[in-house]
Structure 1
Amino acid sequence: MNKIKSKFLILIMVLIFATTTIVLSNTKDTTKVILKNVETGEILFSNEVELEDQLKFTWIHSIDKLPWMEYFEVTDNQELKLNKVVIQDFGAGVPHNLGNNYEIRDGKILFTEINKAYQKYEWLSSQIALEKVELNGNTIITKEKSKDFQRLKLFLQTVKTPF
């Protein structure tokens, strides 16, 4: 009787191993961009992204009340790389050395070649400051959908998905 139980257990273990191998071999790594409320853990947005996908943050500067735009790119290191910042004026809170290059075009100051990488991007949301966040030109959150003084975090995460 013990030999039968042993053989049965071995068979069950082999089946579990084979099933696990089949399931895992039929998945792929997918990168998602996730926007999360830090305090509640609520996922406000989650979507698949690919290398070089673009994120754009549009803010209203708290002092001069002018738009401030930040352009990020998804990198192969699972990071968000800040490439460009567009502002309309220098003033309080605006670093003078933001990028390796800047130019003035159409009345706006463009800082380029910033190349600053972030593992995550966190901010305290405000219906006054945040205008919107976009992924490849599609809006993912606006000031109307954001609550005042909500701690938000945007980050990339790799997940396994079936083929």
Structure 2
Amino acid sequence: MKSKPVSASRTVMTDLVLPPDTNNYGTIFGGRVMAYVDKIASIATMRHARMPVVTASSDSLDFLEPIKAGEAIRLEAFVTYTHKTSMEVFVRIESENLMTGQVKQTGASYLTFVALGPDGRPAPVPGVIPETEEEKWHYQTAPARFEYRKQRKMERLAQNERTSR
């Protein structure tokens, strides 16, 4: 299977934050941001694999700044690393004040998705070729995150086994 450049998966989504999207402080609900993150990560990984995908894990979602009603939320996602059937995707979240043009990074997240073949089982995915310095950094640091996820999953499975007896 031929590897693909990161740019093949790069996806951008922008939306206007309206009052129904916000909490009593006038800032976007965290759950709304989480839904956007999962959606854009799904699109980026489907673009890379050209197969259906499912979310396998979310490492983190770090909220750095609030996004206010009337601002635009902008998300950018791209596949940073692949393993046999899984893909790590990075999502950057920004806000834009549409009156001033000020853009701020408001969050970031890493997620893992698994590609599914026609039988609904995990299927092999193409490798990834980083091109920019940012992409190379994500790619070079990905194996450590992969090992951390694997260890975390093993610990949670063991804990689940202990508590379900």
Structure 2 length-normalised TM: 0.22
Bigger share in helix? 2
Structure 1 length-normalised TM: 0.22
Bigger share in strand? 1
Q: Which has the larger radius of gyration?
A: 1
